[in-house]
Structure 1
Amino acid sequence: METRVALISIIVENNDVIDDINRFLHEAGKYIIGRMGIPYREKGINIISIAIDAPQDVISSLSGKIGHLSGVSAKTAYSNVITKAEDRK
């Protein structure tokens, strides 16, 4: 199995779904490299960036689940860095 490095950018306009987002991120926790959250209080939104190294289907699934939440936008940028699972440390 191959893994890929990607960045998932999330904009949250509906704070009622924060618990759902955190649950999805917790489920994918073993693949997450890092996470940054920025509350933009003046606009009433939250901006979240997730760096992830995971199989393509895991990245797509996570981004899709988050992006389908009401009041949430999620976009993924993929790197060309692909690693075979057995080469991971």
Structure 2
Amino acid sequence: MINTRLGVVGIVIENREAVPRVNEILSKYAEVIIGRMGLPYRAREVAVISLIVDGNTDQLGALTGKLGSLPGVTVKSALTKSP
């Protein structure tokens, strides 16, 4: 894949009402998601999702930006350097 970057995206959902919208966004960007693991962390009343992604910077920026704009959702990403 030319001009794509491999990386990880961590998502913490504190607002359970945001879950349907998070899943909708993730479905929209399914082509850049290589793997996904989601776990409820009941002791803290949050859900944690980790993604392995491979896409161009526009795609990955749009994905993380849309997720991060949701109330009660925190997103952090780490991407490989440009090819």
Give the TM-score taking structure 1 as reference length. 0.86
Give the greater-gyration-radius structure (CA): 1
**More strand by percentage:** 1
The residue type equivalent to 2:32 in the other structure is Y
Deviations 1:23-50 (A, max 9, x none): 1110111111000001100110011101
Q: Is the Cα contact below 8 Å between 2:7 and 2:53 reproduced in 1?
A: yes
The answer for the alignment partner of 2:69 in structure 1 is 68
4+ runs of 1 displaced by more than 3 Å?
A: none
Unaligned runs of 5+ in 2: none
Residue 79 of structure 1: how far off its partner (Å): 1.7
The answer for the alignment partner of 2:81 in structure 1 is 80
Q: Is the Cα contact below 8 Å between 1:14 and 1:45 reproduced in 2?
A: yes
Q: Percent identity at matched positions?
A: 35
The answer for the alignment partner of 1:23 in structure 2 is 24
Unaligned runs of 5+ in 1: 83-89
The answer for the alignment partner of 1:87 in structure 2 is none
Q: State the SS of the aligned residue for 1:2.
A: coil
Distance 2:18 2:27 in 1: 14
Distance 2:80 2:3 in 1: 13
Q: Is the Cα contact below 8 Å between 2:40 and 2:47 reproduced in 1?
A: yes
Q: Is the Cα contact below 8 Å between 2:3 and 2:82 reproduced in 1?
A: no
Distance 1:74 1:57 in 2: 16
Distance 1:35 1:52 in 2: 9
The answer for the alignment partner of 1:10 in structure 2 is 11
Name the Cα RMSD after superposition. 1.3
Q: Give the total of aligned pairs.
A: 82
